[in-house]
Chains A and B, each alone.
Chain A
Amino acid sequence: MRTRVDWLLSAALLAATVGANADEPQFVVIRAARVITVSGEEHAPGMIVCKDGKIEAVGQRIEVPDGAKEFDLGERVIMPGLIAPRTRLGLRGYRRRGNNAQQQASIELVTRPEGWDAFLEAGIVAVGVYPDGQDMPGRAAVVHTHPGDPAERILVEDGYLRVSFNSLPGDKRAVRSALQAAEQAIEKEKKARAEWEKKHASAQQGKDKGKGKPAAKGTQPPKRGTPPRRRPRRGPPQPPKAPLMAGAAQGQASTAAVDTTKFNPPPIPAATEPFVKLLRGESDAPLLFVELGSASDLLHFQDVTRKVEWKQRPVFWAPNRSSRSIQTDMFRVIETLGEAEELVVTYPSFSVEQNTFIRLNVPAELSRAGAKVAFQPLYDSREGYAGLLDAVTLLVGEGLSREAALAGLTLHPAQALGVGDQLGTLEAGKRADFVVLDGDPLQVGTRVEQVWIGAQERWAREVSR
């Protein structure tokens, strides 16, 4: 079966090469003793065929197109590049409060921050850089970790909208007021639209009857992007410059009234806009990254967002009570999170049931209940990332399934960053970002040997002989 599929793929590739420019070696082929795709099967041995930095095919035996650059990595193991969804490594902190949903962390990434080699050493190919501050400080950026031109490396500028929800009642009120502002903006627009339609309808009537009445008093909306004001209209509405005359060419009249045939909604403050989209359930509503502190916070979040039509479920950050404490009470809402198959980012560590010494493997419990777990190391530091694989390995030893562990390092964090279609697994169509290890990833002692991003080797561990 597999061979047959591989032959088909090979045929497709050959067909592709025929049409391609034979001068440039667009294809890159990497072979290794094991290829873990995380999307299903493992191939041993396996090979990946890439074109223009993306994966064309993954399998055990694929016919190599002519002119492809070939790399044979020998006894090594390839898996999708690891992803850390929540970092500010190498970036300076700052304070920010209130609803700043329009701010972006990407503006801090003019140059590659210091210390990011730590990511490569740990096998991490992409990270989510979050904006600092409290309440709703802005949008994260999804960035490749290799050195190079920032413009090239930043995958997403408008990543998840970070919502801190661990210090109640303040945080809950901040979210509530943002949603209320959004509701008001929607109401305002509805009213403006109703008014406009009324006037537009009466204007149409006026035109039809041929009376020389001036056209409907359309609004003179200021351009979008101007600073938000409570009363965007300046003074009384201006009548159209070209007076409509009875019997005048209908076409003339309509072009003269081009400003008023289309309804221009009043502008929405930039910080409120994401929440308007959430309430309306629009497809480009932002992905929310909700930072919980305790189990009860989840209930409060559900309470305050009752009216939201979720087109994509929010991502939950569910750490222990604090980075200094291993106590948690997240276990109380594991069923709730599991039933809804929520995506939960958490530490790859054991915790302890609050007020006891009872050890818990929260990632394993969450995963078993049906939630999708993504890992973010306890410490946002070189040491933290260096120990990531080992930490997850320990969890596997205590009940976390292998599949969940691997997905928690790759696919699920990619989904948490909203780039699950581009990263996280080794499948055709996804980016050729992968990490090369000297052994099974879930075995203590395995080391990262190489990191490939865009089908190019970006980092290799120096081997001293």
Chain B
Amino acid sequence: MRTLLLTLFLFGGLAAGQDVPWPLAPGGEEGDAKPAAEDDSTDDADEDDADEDDADEERWFALVGGTVYQSGAWLEGTTVLSKNGRIVAIGTDVAVPEEAETLDVSGYRVYPGLVAFESRGIVGSQPGDSTDVFGLNLNLALATGITTVGAGTQVAKLTWGTLEGHDLGEANLVRIDVSQASLRARLREDLERVQAYLRDAKIAAAAKARGEDDVKEPSSKFLRGKFAGYRDLLVGTKRALANADTVAELVAVTSFTKRFGFRAVVRGAMEGWTLPGELGRAGISVVVTPRARRDRDPDRLADNGWSIENAARLHEHGVEVALLPRGTGISMGGLAGGDLLTYPLEAAFAMRGGLEEDAALEAITLTPARFLGIADRVGSLEVGKDMDALVVKGDLLHYQTLVEWTVVNGRVAYDKAKDSLFEHIRPRDGQADENREVPLIWPRRGNAPESPERPR
């Protein structure tokens, strides 16, 4: 609906003969409807959209003239153009088609939409089949700038108001449990079995290739269920996901990765700062919570317990770091600062411990996307990736910065000025620092407030 209104407004302006500030290319003619793609933008982006590439079905969207954050670099006065939800051009001289829906973001910063590695209560347990795309938690997550979440074993995008492009399928992770000796023993057995199979299959394939007859291929019937997952692990198409906080647990995970050669994502890694090099060399990546605490046990000689510098130390030693808050849901109870509602602040706390800004931003965007196996689509603003972005005035990691717009798949999924939730806080049209005066409304059952508002 907002899209429609926005488009209507823009077209209405034209029709009325007003001087609507069309974000055309500088000196661009009205007739120049085609987007001038960047040198490095490929036409592959268009060809890939086989299902959506109908001439009548083109849906253009552009964020115009903002300061765009692209993997560590700040691009000033830059326009990001998308077609059917995919970015087709990023640059300072992008010509935007007339029929495009545009958002003038000059004076604002454009960041990639945030990716939360884990979430609860935001999308449905089986997202494609149960998400409430009008849900309050979804709305709040978008207001925080989150555009993609992991939920259980699934991954989903926060497509407000539509199921199109919502379900991204399964995450690229295989869960393993190394918490108990018996489980570790079983895991070792199973992995050895799969490893033996792979070795034998490789030998058999080579023999076949040489033209040898009488090649006995190993039976692959057992490669079902968890074994299929283990096969993906050993072959390298998926990563393992394990919970490990203490040094003992972390070492358990490294023993597996070193022995079997797969990559693992460790959730927690509270004591990771005591052995960061070890983790790096063992191919371990981590999802850490900067403020997860366990006090140091003075009876142990070695370093132990938590450290605010966990993320920074691990990152220094080449470990991929993603971040998550203590709570992975969104709570409306009022206790703030510990759940996804303040997701960017987790990155700020990681910086408190010494993590650099670019790494901190990556830890809440591209790195979790990589862990989930969707980094080809989300996590950064690149041509060919999905048009998922958030727009803020100022520094995203400053505690006073609230998201102004959130775009998902080339649609405005959240507009702070139009959504009542945060609209009154440093409103966009008002003065920079003052809040809008909102009267105290007393709830009178059954009676409407003085001016009942049209539902959004």
Contact present for A168 and B130 (CB under 8 Å): yes
**Which of A296, A332, A358 touches B449 (beta carbons < 8 Å)?**
A358
B11 adjacent to chain A (CB < 8 Å): no
Does A87 belong to the interface (CB within 8 Å)? Answer: no
CA distance A169 to B125 in the complex (A): 8
Q: Is B218 interfacial (CB-CB < 8 Å)? A: no
Beta-carbon contact of A354 and B136 below 8 Å: yes
Chain B 417-456 near chain A by CB (<8 Å), digits 1 or 0: 0000000000000000000000001011111110011011
Report whether A296 and B455 are in contact in the complex, using a CB–CB cutoff of 8 Å. no
Q: Give every chain B residue within 8 A of A355 (Cβ-Cβ).
A: 136
Q: A331–B445 Cα gap in the complex (Å)? A: 20
User: Are A358 and B455 CB-contacts (below 8 A) given A295-B134, A300-B163?
Assistant: yes
Residues in chain A near residue B134, CB distance under 8 A: 294-296, 329, 332
Residue-wise, chain A 143-185 has the 8 Å CB interface mask toward B (1 for contact) of 0000000000000000000000000110011000000000000
Chain A CB within 8 A of B135 CB: yes
Closest B residue to A176 by beta carbon equals B129
CB–CB A353/B455 < 8 A: yes
CA distance A169 to B136 in the complex (A): 18
Task: Identify the closest chain B residue to A335 (Cβ).
Answer: B1
Q: Is A296's CB under 8 angstroms from B133's CB?
A: yes
In the bound complex, residues from chain A placing their C-beta under 8 Å from that of B161 are: 332
Instruction: Name the residue of chain A whose CB is nearest to the CB of B445.
Output: A357
> Which of A299, A353, A360 has the most chain B CB within a 10 Å cutoff?
A299
Docked complex: B104-153 residues within 8 A CB-CB of A: 124-126, 129-136
Q: Are B163 and A299 in contact (CB under 8 A)?
A: yes
- In angstroms, Cα B51 to Cα A440, docked, is 56
**B220 interface residue, CB < 8 Å from A?**
no
Contact with A along B156-184 (1 / 0, CB 8 A): 00000111000000000000000000000
Could you say which of A173, A294, A300, A329 has the most chain B C-beta atoms within 10 Å of its C-beta? A300
Is there contact, CB below 8 Å, between B1 and A296?
A: no
CB distance from B29 to the nearest CB of A (A): 36
Which residue in B130, B135, B453 is a CB contact (below 8 Å) of A358? B453
A357 near B131 with CB under 8 A, answer no
Residue of A nearest to B442 (CB): A357
Measured CB to CB, the nearest residue on chain B to A356 is B420
When A172-B129, A173-B129 are in contact, do A360 and B163 touch as well, CB less than 8 Å? no
Knowing A169-B125, A294-B134, A296-B134, say if A358 contacts B452 (CB, 8 Å).
yes
Contact of A294 among B129, B132, B443, B446 (CB under 8 A): B132
A359 interface hit (Cβ, 8 Å): yes
List the A residue with the shortest CB-CB distance to B161. A332
Which of B132, B135, B455 has the most A CB atoms < 10 Å from its CB? B455
What's the nearest-Cβ distance from chain A to residue B260, in Å? 35
A286 CB, min distance to chain B CBs, angstroms? 23
A residues near B133, Cβ cutoff 8 Å: 296, 299
Given A168-B124, A358-B448, A359-B452: A300 and B129 within 8 A (CB)? yes
- B132 — nearest CB in chain A belongs to which residue? A296
Report the number of A-B residue pairs with Cβ-Cβ less than 8 Å. 52
* CB-defined contacts of A300 to chain B, threshold 8 Å: 129-130, 163
What 1/0 flags go to A265-300 for Cβ under 8 Å of B? 000000000000000000000000000001110011
Q: Is A303 close to B, CB under 8 A?
A: yes
Q: Is the CB of A168 within 8 A of B453?
A: no
A residues near B162, Cβ cutoff 8 Å:
299
The interface centre, meaning the residue of B130, B443, B447, B456 with most chain A CB atoms within 10 A of its CB, is B130
* Nearest CB of chain B from residue A321's CB, rounded to whole Å: 11
Least Cβ–Cβ distance between A358 and chain B, in angstroms: 6
Asked if residues B130 and A172 are in contact (CB atoms below 8 Å), the reply is yes
Contacts of A303 in B (CB 8 A): 163
Expressed in whole angstroms, the Cα–Cα distance for A295 and B132 within the complex equals 8
A148 nearest CB across to chain B (Å): 42
Q: Are the C-beta atoms of B449 and A357 separated by less than 8 Å?
A: yes
Query: In the bound complex, what is the Cα–Cα distance between A360 and B449 (angstroms)?
Result: 12
CA distance A168 to B130 in the complex (A): 5
**B455 near A169: Cβ-Cβ < 8 Å:** no
Which of B133, B134, B163 lies at the interface centre, i.e. has the most chain A CB atoms within 10 A of its CB? Answer: B134
- Min C-beta distance of B1 to chain A, whole Å: 6
- Given A168-B124, A296-B135, A332-B134, A360 contacting B129 (CB threshold 8 A): no
The docked-state distance in angstroms from the alpha carbon of A294 to that of B449 is 25
B142 to chain A, nearest CB (A): 15
When distances are taken between beta carbons in the complex, the residues of chain B under 8 Å from A335 are 1
Closest partner residue, chain A, to B167 (CB atom): A303
Contact residues, B275-318 vs A (CB, 8 A)? none
In the bound complex, what is the Cα–Cα distance between A90 and B245 (angstroms)? 60
The minimal Cβ–Cβ distance linking B28 to chain A, given in whole angstroms, is 34
C-alpha spacing A354/B137, complex, angstroms: 13
- Give chain A residues whose Cβ lies under 8 Å from the Cβ of B445: 357
Chain A 300-334 against B: per-residue CB contact (8 Å), 1 yes, 0 no? 10010000000000000000000000000101100
Known: A294-B132, A299-B162, A329-B134. A169 touches B124 (CB 8 A): yes
> A169 is contacted by which of B126, B449, B452, B456 (Cβ under 8 Å)?
B126
CB distance from A395 to the nearest CB of B (A): 14
In the complex, are the beta carbons of B443 and A169 less than 8 A apart?
A: no
Q: Which residue of B is nearest A357, CB measured?
A: B443
Point out the residues of chain A lying under 8 angstroms from B163, CB to CB.
Answer: 299-300, 303
Tell me which residues across on chain A come within 8 A of B124, comparing CB atoms: 168-169
Bound CA span A168–B131, Å: 8
CB distance from B157 to the nearest CB of A (A): 15
Q: In the complex, what residues of B have CB within 8 A of residue A357's CB?
A: 441, 443-445, 448-449
Measured in the bound complex, the distance between the Cα atoms of B453 and A299 in whole Å is 25
Q: Give the residues in chain B near A353, CB-CB below 8 Å.
A: 455
Nearest B residue to A333, CB-CB: B134
Q: Are B130 and A169 in contact (CB under 8 A)?
A: yes
How many Å from the CB of A179 to the closest CB on chain B?
Answer: 14
Proximity string of chain A (106-134) to chain B, C-beta cutoff 8 Å, 1 when within and 0 when not: 00000000000000000000000000000
- Contact assessment for B443 and A296 in the assembled complex, using a CB-CB cutoff below 8 Å: no
Residue of B nearest to A295 (CB): B134
Q: Using Cβ atoms and an 8 Å threshold, which residues of chain B touch A296? A: 131-135
Distance (whole angstroms) from the CB of A307 to the closest CB of chain B: 15
Asked if A169 meets B448 with Cβ closer than 8 Å, knowing A296-B135, A303-B163, A358-B455, the reply is: no
Known pairs A173-B129, A299-B133, A354-B136 / 15 extra A-B pairs, C-beta < 8 Å: A172-B130, A294-B132, A296-B133, A299-B162, A303-B163, A329-B134, A332-B134, A332-B456, A353-B455, A355-B136, A357-B443, A357-B449, A358-B448, A359-B448, A359-B452
For the complex of A and B, the 6 pairs showing the least CB-CB separation, nearest first, are: A169-B129, A168-B130, A169-B130, A331-B455, A296-B132, A169-B126
Can you name 27 A-B residue pairings with CB atoms under 8 Å? A168-B130, A169-B124, A169-B125, A169-B126, A172-B129, A294-B134, A295-B134, A296-B132, A296-B133, A296-B135, A299-B133, A299-B162, A300-B163, A329-B134, A331-B455, A332-B134, A332-B161, A354-B136, A357-B443, A357-B444, A357-B448, A357-B449, A358-B449, A358-B453, A358-B455, A359-B448, A359-B452
Residues of A within 8 A of B (CB): 168-169, 172-173, 294-296, 299-300, 303, 329, 331-332, 335, 353-355, 357-360
Residues of B within 8 A of A (CB): 1, 124-126, 129-136, 161-163, 441, 443-449, 452-453, 455-456
